[in-house]
């Protein structure tokens, strides 16, 4: 690595990579690309066999970020509970909604992922979701479960149950 390399993340830390979720930084490796040495984070996506290499110099512009702080979790839960802010346009075609939700999930922002989860959860009570929308609902839920469990250092199953209670309007003590 050159002296100019600045590593925002360290090996062994957890980070969030947009649309993939929580990842363990396994290593930082140097590769020669177009004759130039470049440093890469090697990410192991938790809960999958996927490994991703992210150029260190582009990590933040690609949306790679730290796990949310514990203090952000109530804000995420507040979004999930909020039924006033949304206007579900059930006339919009499923593929247009799907594209919009995909873009929001790609931002990597937990708040946007929470909005997608909330909207799809509410939409499924008005009409049947398409296969893609059901898959998107599961993706949004899983992304939040993994990140919140990492932030709280809690069991994923417990967080999944907590999210389900919130979405069903039965949230109690967590």
Backbone angles phi, psi at 31, to 5 degrees: -135, 150
SS3 for 25?
Answer: strand
Residue 129 falls within a domain, yes or no? yes
Q: What's the whole-number mean pLDDT along residues 35-39?
A: 93
Residues 124 and 52 in one domain: no
SS3 for 60?
Answer: coil
Residues 53 and 122 in one domain: no
Residue 173 falls within a domain, yes or no? no
Q: So what's the pLDDT on residue 6?
A: 56
Looking at the DSSP assignment, which residues form a beta bridge with residue 15?
Answer: 23, 66
Q: What's the whole-number mean pLDDT along residues 29-40?
A: 93
Average pLDDT of the chain to the nearest whole number = 89
Domain that holds residue 149: 70-167
Residues 23 and 48 in one domain: yes
Q: How many domains does the chain have?
A: 2
Contact 115, 81 (CB under 8 A): no
Residues 145 and 158 in one domain: yes
Residues 100 and 151 in one domain: yes
Contact 129, 120 (CB under 8 A): yes
Which CATH number belongs to the domain containing residue 54 in this structure? 2.40.10.170
Residues 80 and 52 in one domain: no
pLDDT above 80 (res 51): yes
pLDDT above 50 (res 4): no
Indicate the residue among 66, 90, 108 that finishes a domain: 66
Residues 84 and 139 in one domain: yes
Residues 155 and 99 in one domain: yes
Percentage of the chain lying above the pLDDT 70 cut: 90
Residues 85 and 146 in one domain: yes
Residues 95 and 134 in one domain: yes
Residues 111-147 pLDDT 10s:
999 999 999 998 888 888 889 999 999 999 999 999 9
E-assigned strand segments in the chain: 14-17, 21-33, 36-45, 51-55, 65-66
């Amino acid at each position: 690595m050159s002296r100019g390399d600045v590593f925002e993340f360290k090996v062994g830390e957890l980070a969030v990579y947009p649309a993939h979720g929580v990842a363990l930084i396994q290593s930082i490796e140097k590769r020669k690309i177009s004759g130039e040495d470049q440093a890469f984070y090697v990410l192991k996506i938790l809960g999958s066999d996927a490994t991703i290499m992210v150029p260190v110099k582009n990590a933040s512009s690609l949306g790679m970020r730290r796990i949310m702080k514990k203090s952000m979790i109530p804000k995420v839960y507040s979004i999930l509970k909020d039924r006033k802010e949304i206007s579900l346009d059930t006339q919009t075609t499923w593929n247009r909604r799907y594209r919009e939700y995909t873009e929001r999930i790609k931002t990597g922002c937990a708040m946007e992922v929470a909005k997608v989860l909330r909207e799809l959860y509410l939409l499924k009570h008005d009409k049947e979701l398409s296969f893609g929308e059901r898959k998107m609902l599961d993706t949004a839920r899983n992304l939040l479960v993994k990140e919140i469990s990492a932030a709280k250092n809690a069991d994923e199953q417990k967080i999944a149950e907590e999210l389900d209670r919130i979405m069903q309007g039965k949230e109690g003590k967590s």
